[in-house]
A and B are shown apart, each in its own frame.
Chain A
Amino acid sequence: MKLYLDELISKGLIKKENVKKGVMITITPNGRDFLFKYNQMREFEKTFGL
């Protein structure tokens, strides 16, 4: 899990923020954009049965 998070952070897709409760992980605008494209890609693949 930590490895995945580190990779996502290094790629600028998510970021860690220290808050009172602990560490909050939020998605970055780049991450959100990637997620949009990924969802579209899945939809595209499903449509064509790829």
Chain B
Amino acid sequence: MVRIVLTPEWFIGKDVMIELFSFLVLIAFFILAYRYYKINNRRRIFYLGVGFGLVALAQLATILTKLPLYYDFKPVSQIGKAIITSNLITSLDFFYYTGFFFYRFLTLLGFYMIYRLPRDRKSVGDYMVVLYFILISSLLSREIFYIFHLTALFILILIVEKYALVYKENRFFNTKVLIVSFSLLALSQLIFVLSNIDILFALANTIELISYSVFLALIIRIWKHGKKKKSYGDHIGYLSDSAGKKRTH
């Protein structure tokens, strides 16, 4: 029999809290990117936002799937009873498998979008091939759970490599922070591969939490940057007839 979730009993609930935190951080990235896209209409910002948005949706999918699985929600258990009494027990399995499938599929698709951004234009065929492999990884992971984590790890390594190249050019501290957070996320995926061992599952989740905390710190840094006041205050300058006059404030 295939286990639906690998969460150890003593970690139940804590994993949902971590996923909820991850969802909030990712949705914050999506909102930021969307706001900036509205200012300059640059598609790359929009697609980056969509990438984070898809991973956020993936987190939401797993939360919504796990909650009825972990806790006895009345409406859900009533639906469950109705399904069982009408001999539709497989439908309940279908709900869980679909929920986790969307988690895997949206996560991989989101990471791929984040990775793909600043590259040259590819043909539709290239996208279809990637989409196919993402779909296959998501579907196969139902039976072989580590296929998903290996695929995510592979894409995350590509993302880290990409931002390492960006950092080489701009030497910007924020990009370094970004590399650290994506590296931690990659490390968590590597440990998830071994998550059959309870303690490693918890460790992978904890590293994921640290990674999203670093992402949150980055959002705060970006947000605070806009609030920095320039030394000359609000006055732009004087317009007068004598062009040579110096600013006195």
Q: Judging by beta carbons under 8 Å apart, are A27 and B172 in contact?
A: no
Q: Does B44 contact A (CB under 8 A)?
A: yes
Binary CB contact string for chain B from 139 to 155 against chain A (1 if under 8 A, 0 otherwise): 00000000000000000
Binary CB contact string for chain B from 225 to 238 against chain A (1 if under 8 A, 0 otherwise): 11110000011111
Q: Judging by beta carbons under 8 Å apart, are B238 and A21 in contact?
A: yes
Write out the residue numbers on chain B whose beta carbons fall within 8 Å of the beta carbon of A37: 35-36, 39, 226
Q: Judging by beta carbons under 8 Å apart, are A21 and B35 in contact?
A: no
Where the two chains meet, the residues of B that have a C-beta atom closer than 8 Å to any C-beta of A are 32-33, 35-36, 39-40, 42, 44-45, 48, 117-118, 163, 166, 169-170, 172, 174-175, 177-178, 218, 221-223, 225-228, 234-241, 245
Q: Judging by beta carbons under 8 Å apart, are A27 and B236 in contact?
A: yes
User: Closest 3 A-B residue pairs measured CB to CB?
Assistant: A22-B240, A49-B166, A40-B226
Given the interface pairs A23-B238, A23-B240, A40-B225, the reply to whether A47 lies near B36 with Cβ below 8 Å is no
Could you jot down 17 A-B contacts, CB within 8 Å? A21-B238, A22-B240, A25-B235, A25-B236, A26-B234, A36-B226, A37-B35, A38-B226, A39-B225, A41-B35, A43-B222, A46-B175, A48-B163, A48-B166, A48-B175, A50-B44, A50-B117
A13 to B42, CA, bound (A): 22
Q: Judging by beta carbons under 8 Å apart, are B174 and A50 in contact?
A: no
From B169, B172, B239, A23 is in contact (CB under 8 Å) with: B239
From A35, A36, A38, A50, B48 is in contact (CB under 8 Å) with: A50
